Amino acid sequence: MVARAKSPGRREIAETEVCMFCERLRNISALADCLVYEDELFHVSHQLNEEGQTYLGSVIIQARRHVHDLAGLTEEEAARLGSLITRSSRALKNCTGAGWTYAESFLERYQHVHVIVTARYPSMPKEYIRLAIRKWPDAPRGAHAEVVELSRKLRSNMSAEKETTQPRS
Ligand SMILES: [Zn+2]
């Protein structure tokens, strides 16, 4: 076992520890129902609580490659990630009635680049803003079937947008 220098406030994943984001991509068929978008660089899916209700309107954009932090992205990945944050935000606004979206990327526990884009509903009371958003008791939530249906809407919204902005040659 190699001793590693620790940087304050940041925890390295041990060699033996599994990266949850790499694991998600290894079991990609489990994400098929919640798939929103995928290409050779990124995978976008709606979050899903296997047990109980799920906040409606929260997608995870994750790099396919195990890359530790935003500074480690290639220029191509960086450009694609920026575009996907915007396109996911548009799809969430179009499909959920969100007023705008939150985008979070802490990369604290799992150092594998991912950005969570979440619908910020206009009716949300002020006490639940920012990181308290998921504590909002009256937030729009849904069971598995509703999450799958919203994922389908987001997927078709994003693919329709792609066809209008990037016509096939
Ligand atoms: Zn990983």
Neighbours of ion ligand 1 (CB under 5 A): 19, 21-22, 66, 112
Instruction: Compute the distance from residue 1 Cα to the ligand 1 centre, in Å.
Output: 21
- Candidate from 10-14, 48-52, 63-67, 159-163 with smallest mean pLDDT: 10-14
- What residues does each domain of the chain span? 20-157
Instruction: Compute the distance from residue 24 Cα to the ligand 1 centre, in Å.
Output: 9
Query: For the segment 48-71, what is each residue's pLDDT rounded down to a tens digit?
Result: 998 899 999 999 999 999 999 999
Rounded to the nearest 5 degrees, what angle is found at the Cα of 26, between the Cα atoms of 54 and 103? 45
Instruction: Compute the distance from residue 118 Cα to the ligand 1 centre, in Å.
Output: 22
pLDDT score recorded for residue 15? 55
- Record: fold of 20-157: HIT family, subunit A (3.30.428)
Instruction: Compute the distance from residue 145 Cα to the ligand 1 centre, in Å.
Output: 28
Instruction: Compute the distance from residue 112 Cα to the ligand 1 centre, in Å.
Output: 5
pLDDT score recorded for residue 17? 77
Instruction: Compute the distance from residue 159 Cα to the ligand 1 centre, in Å.
Output: 26
Q: Does the pTM of the predicted model rise above 0.75?
A: yes
